[in-house]
Structure 1
Amino acid sequence: MRTLVSAVATILGVLLAAVAVPAIWVDRTIVGEDGFVHLAAPLGSNTEFQRQLATAAVGTIDTSAVPGFLNDLVQPVLENAATSLAGLPGYPAAWEETLRKSHRLSFGPASASAAETGQASSLTLDVAPLVALGTEEISRTTGVPLDPPQETLINVGQPQHREWAERLSTYAPMGYLLAGGSGVAFLLALVAARRRWAVAAGAGLGGLAAAGAWAAASGIGSAQALSTDTGNEVANLFRDAFVPAAAEDFGTWTTVTAITGGVLLVVGLVAGAVSRRGPRANR
């Protein structure tokens, strides 16, 4: 009976961990603002993405307050801002704030009010900080004061993508509870086990299997995400850079799990071999 309880608890612990780890990664890296910014910040250094994003951001600048006789002066400044925005000293901070504002629209408390007003029916980038940077540069060059908008949204996904984001916000934090349940299950398995080395070996084998399943699922999910057309060139560039970055980051967690599983398996097998030789040596 103890062996059966230990085996069932070990299997339950592996299954719970197999779900908990990806959920915790999603909560920390995608749903969590700091994790998302850390993951997506390098995208701002992608030359093609910089150009497309700057063009889109500068294209939203309202120059209606500029007197008509200055139009010929403002237009070249606009064109120059679209190409040189990423080179301005304030660009890194503006890009980070863009990511934070965009993340709050999709995952933060502000997302609910934005959805109610119809401002963010799909995943969006709020490029207002970049627009403000461009507006400031134009004002500095022309001497004409321009007021930057508080919010400038660029769709980077379809409505169903926003639904996925809301589900992630709801369910990803449950990973910590599942991890706790997994720990309790493994503890029960150790307490009930007649051969504790078998629990270690089973946990290690389960870790290797989980890592393999995660790697396969990550590859399939990444391929599907990259093949989905968002209908927006800026969004496609964001997708093409963000998806591989996310897959690589999760790949680190997968590798650590595989190494841990391999170590547990070896330790369990070695401990089992030693325990079997012990009685023989005493004969």
Structure 2
Amino acid sequence: MRFLATLLLWLVTTVALAAAVPAMWVQQTVISEDGYASLAASAATDSRLQDAMAGELTAQVIALGADNGYQLNPVLVSDVANSYTRNSGFPGQFAQANRIAHRWMFTGAVPSGNSTDEWLIDVAPMLSDPSFSATLGSLDLQVPPTLTVPITVDTPELQPGKLRWLATWGPWVSIGAAAFTAIAALLTLAAARSRGKALTALGVSALLVGAAGWAGIEIANRYVEMGLNRTAGTIRVVAETMVAHAEDSLHWWLNCTLIAGVALVVLGVLGAVVGGVARSSTAGTSPGTAMRSR
């Protein structure tokens, strides 16, 4: 009966861990505005994203000049844009632009100038960078306070605040899943006859979850591709790079889970060996043996 109880608790712990790891990752990396901004800043160090944003900024500057009666040199503007996206200040400004996009999806906050339901990113702060303003200033061309670029095509499936429910419940779900997993693991240890074997079993749980997570990412890629098809223009490359860095982040979490699993297995095996040696030593020193030794 005790074995069955331990087995059931182990299964519950494994399932809970399989839910807790992705839930915590989603909360920390996607739902959290700071986490999403950090992801964007990390992606902004990728040359693919830098090239794509340089192309988008070039197009916006040329269009802005045309609207004000100026015919700008595309090569010159492109050189300025490429220089800007490779300077140290670009990741921070790109992260700030993505904070605004994040609020659109998770809180429903709509940037000024957005008259549609498209998911937009505001590039005006980037064009206000000194490297651009110096070029534009010679033409007496002022960047407007807001200059938005669509991230996705206009679709009724994407509305402001579409993921507000995740922002509300995400923190509670991630904390609850982590707490439930910890409680289930402690109960498994308490119910087991051998703590060493229980630790080993918990390590196997972590290994299973880590491996399943890697497999799950591969399966999910087809659905991610469908989502990327909703992006527009050079923003497609930006979105692909963001997704790639998000996958790298999730891989890191799964690798930590695998490492923790290996550590628990090693500790469990060592604990089982030490416990076996201790029991053998105790059994060998029986009362009869002690009397004969006297």
TM-score by length of 1: 0.80
CA distance in 2, matches of 1:271, 1:169: 42
Aligned pair in 2 of structure 1 residues 210, 29: CA closer, same or farther (>3 Å)?
same
Change (3 A) 1:243 1:88: closer
Q: Partner of 2:144 in structure 1?
A: 148
1:195 alignment partner in structure 2: 194
Structure 2: segments with no counterpart, 5+ residues: 285-294
2 CA distance for matches of 1:52 and 1:34? 27
Is the CA contact 1:107–1:169 (under 8 Å) kept in the aligned structure 2?
no
158-167 vs 207-216, which moves further:
158-167
Report the more deviating stretch, 195-204 or 209-218. 195-204
Question: How many angstroms does 1:78 deviate by?
Answer: 6.4
Partners of 1:42 and 1:166 in 2: CA distance = 25
Q: Is the 8 A contact 2:122 2:148 kept in 1?
A: yes
Q: Which amino acid aligns with 1:17?
A: L
Pairing 1:1-283 to 2, within 5 Å after superposition: 1-45=1-45, 46=47, 47-59=50-62, 61=64, 64=67, 66=68, 71=69, 74-76=70-72, 80-88=76-84, 92-93=88-89, 96-107=92-103, 111-114=107-110, 119=115, 121-133=117-129, 136-142=133-139, 144=140, 146-156=142-152, 160=157, 165-166=163-164, 168-173=166-171, 174-226=173-225, 228-281=228-281, 282-283=283-284
Alignment coverage as a number of residue pairs? 275
Structure 1 residues 145 and 233, CA gap change in structure 2 (3 angstroms):
closer
Q: Secondary structure at the match of 1:125?
A: strand
1:42 Cα shift?
A: 4.3
1-side partners of 2:108 and 2:55: how far apart?
Answer: 29
Change in CA separation of 1:231 and 1:250 when aligned onto 2, cut-off 3 Å: closer
- Structure of larger gyration radius: 2
What is the CA RMSD across the aligned residues, in angstroms?
3.4
Report the identity percentage: 20
Distance 2:107 2:118 in 1: 10
Which TM-score applies when normalising by structure 2?
0.77
Deviation larger for 29-38 or 220-229 = 220-229
Structure 1 pair 258/119, CA: closer, same or farther in 2 (3 Å)? farther
- Does the aligned pair in 2 maintain the 1:18–1:210 contact within 8 Å? yes
